[in-house]
Amino acid sequence: MALSERARAHYAERTKTRREDRLIAWREARDAHLEATKWRCEIGPLLAAADIGAYRQCAGRADTCHHALARGMGGSSDDSELLSTCPPCHAWTEANPRLAELIGAKVRHGS
């Protein structure tokens, strides 16, 4: 059964609104976490403690947050699941998921 044009428009608007609401909630959670950590990268010190050379690239000042457990795998934007991060450390974390897991910057689904 095909949706009417009106029903399709309503569904599209509702979906857009939910997406916008999630984006606003994410921005609020991110900004609150960055403020709480005083905009300091939390991944750089983990890399340094593990003596992984990538910490030398750490910019120190965080500009975003990393989800320890990806939202698509059941994670959330709760403060306890976020790590403030600078661009170089965030890129390293995404490029090296196994090492990131070992230093505590990433959690495997189901762990």
Per-residue pLDDT of the chain (111 residues; tens, 9 = 90+): 567 888 777 777 777 788 898 889 999 999 999 999 999 999 999 989 998 877 788 999 999 999 888 777 877 888 888 999 999 999 999 999 999 999 988 887 554
Radius of gyration for the chain, computed over Cα atoms and rounded to the nearest angstrom: 18
Q: State pTM to two decimals.
A: 0.75
The two three-digit tokens of residue 51, written as one number: 């003596």
Beta strands in 7-105 (DSSP E): 64-67, 82-85
SS3 110: coil
Q: Which pLDDT does position 10 carry in this prediction?
A: 72
| 9-37 pLDDT per residue, tens | 777 777 778 889 888 999 999 999 999 99
